[in-house]
Chains A and B, each alone.
Chain A
Amino acid sequence: MKDVVIELKNFNSRYGKQEVLQNISLTFPHQTITAIIGPSGCGKTTLLRSINRSAELESGYSCTGDILLSGASMFNMNAYSVRRQVGMVFQTPVALPLSIRQNVLFAPRYYGLRQRALQDDLVENCLRKVALWEEVKDRLHKPASQLSGGQKQRLAIARVLAVKPRVLLLDEPCSSLDPASTERVEETIRGLAAELCIVIVTHNLAQARRLANETAFMLNGQLIETGPTENIFSSPKHEKTRDFVTGLFG
């Protein structure tokens, strides 16, 4: 059994009076890709944003229960440090209005990385990990907005990797990408699984099946079933899960 990096314990959250997540208990192990599947609006994104502690930036958000990061409650830690350790990549590829190089260095600079040589190393290292280095090494100082959607998404992953997170949360990272870009992003994610705990929310069941070691199925803010991906898809225990993975609803 691999080390558990993130553990949710009876976690509930709400926006105002609207309950979004109900009594979720779930673990995400190290060096494992966990997929979260479920219909739109079932709380998958809120779950990710809660684990990253950025959901609490929205007004009206509140939560009960606990989330442990490497065994310690993340609500007792500094929120900035939690966000740094639990990186998040969003659905829409976002290139910050800076150059490609500055996009990668955006957060490291905040954390005090000043030396030019170290910066160069970090930029190359992170861009290599997402297989973007060869494509952009000659135009690091060009605006990142010039990149394609798939490149922007890989840049977004590189930007998160630059602060050396322990966990990588991906919120439908390929939903706005074409099949070729999707494949490259998936390769990147697969490569990163060797060193990180990865959680990916996806609408694409085939993608969950291709990528994930573990899969969790959510419905209406509740966790219905979780287990090794093959079991969820071929022999689900729960009737709702079976209906969902066979495409009866979605």
Chain B
Amino acid sequence: MQVLKFKSDKVDTFLGSLFLVTAWASVLLLAALLLFLLLESWPLWSRVGVLSFISGQVWLPLSAVPQIGIAPMLVSTLWVAAGALVLAAPLGLACAAFLAEFAPAPLTAVMRPVLNLLTGIPSVVYGFLGAAVLVRFFEVSFDLPSGESLFAASLVLAIMVLPFIVANSEIALRSVLNDYRHTSLALGVSRPYYVMRILIPAARKGIIASMVLAFGRAAGETMAVLMMAGNTMFMPGSWFNQGEPLPALIALELGSASPGSLHYQALFAAGLVLLVLVILVNILLSSFLLPKGNEVKPF
């Protein structure tokens, strides 16, 4: 009597190809998105040229002699997103280290769901609160004609991306071998020393990955930025100037651009630049993180 039977190869093959197809589908989706943006904006690239589109200082797509350049918007995007990261990264890392290493279990049980809830708050609510509270605060306390600025937008964005940094960094910190903690603490060093010397360096890959994700979100965030950044099309000279980041530009103008016009194509081109920027940052940072020959590897 034979009880154990060989499972059909067909099932294995089917499951294998199913996983393969779904994996490729997500890759294809990104490729399709890039292709769509490229096709919609194509005539513009041949007419204006990549370099002058990116470095052009003037955005007048509807004038008799259209001038199309997105440099001020691109710089605003970078200011806003990088600024948000500068504010959120140390806070997020400290918070993650606290949750992963110091917080007593009951406190973690409360804090983690709260942080997760923060990610679910619609960005328009953040923008509204920012505009009502933060912008007013700047106007009143610093006696400014307008409290809107790239800095104000960065502040709100920092709060928005903080939960992502905390959640992903905490996962990275928790994945570090427990043996390191036992070994370190048994030597008589304090927990903070262990965290700074061993834990955070060992988890740095995951931590930086969480920062990259946060940068991508901050660069692409539209609503809050649109309500906070001031939306002026001049090249921002500092963090405290006003500006109009790319997502805000697209959201504000796409509704009024007639399909197929140069204006319409220019907005799609701006979208393409934004997407390529985020992808480039991803590739650049992850190539930094690849283990190199002589490096002290965490795992």
Residues of A within 8 A of B (CB): 52, 54, 57, 59, 80-85, 87-88, 90, 92, 94, 96-99, 106-107, 110, 142-143, 145, 156, 159-160, 163
Contacts and interface: CB of A to CB of B under 8 A. Distances in A.
A99 B197 CA distance: 12
Nearest to A145: B297
Contacts of A52: 186
Contact of A106 (B182, B189, B202, B299): B189
Interface in B179-198: 179-180, 182-190, 193, 197-198
19 contacts: A52-B186, A80-B188, A82-B188, A85-B188, A87-B186, A90-B186, A92-B179, A94-B180, A96-B183, A96-B184, A97-B297, A98-B197, A99-B296, A107-B189, A110-B190, A142-B294, A143-B295, A145-B296, A163-B188
Given A96-B180, A97-B198, A106 B296 contact: no
Contacts of B189: 80, 106-107, 110
Contacts of A145: 296-297
Given A97-B296, A97-B299, A110-B193, A159 B187 contact: yes
B198 A94 contact: no
A142 B184 CA distance: 20
Say what secondary structure dominates the interface of chain B: helix
B90 interface: no
B167 to A, nearest CB: 23
Interface in B157-180: 177, 179-180
Contact of B198 (A85, A96, A99): A96
Interface of B: 105, 177, 179-180, 182-190, 193, 197-198, 201-202, 294-299
Nearest to B180: A96
Contact of B187 (A87, A92, A99): A87
B201 A160 contact: no
B297 A143 contact: yes
Contacts of B179: 90, 92, 94
A106 B180 CA distance: 12
A107 B296 contact: no
Given A59-B105, A97-B298, A143-B296, 6 more contacts: A80-B188, A80-B190, A82-B188, A83-B186, A97-B296, A106-B184
Contacts of A84: 187-188
Contacts of B201: 97
Ranked nearest first, the 5 interchain pairs of A and B with the lowest CB-CB distance are A84-B188, A83-B188, A107-B187, A143-B296, A110-B189
Nearest to B191: A57
Contacts of A59: 105
A163 B187 contact: yes
B178 to A, nearest CB: 10
B193 to A, nearest CB: 5
A106 B297 contact: no
Contact of B185 (A54, A81, A99, A159): A54
Contacts of B295: 143
A54 B182 contact: yes
Contacts of B184: 96, 106
A97 B186 contact: no
A90 B186 CA distance: 10
Given A94-B179, A97-B198, A88 B297 contact: no
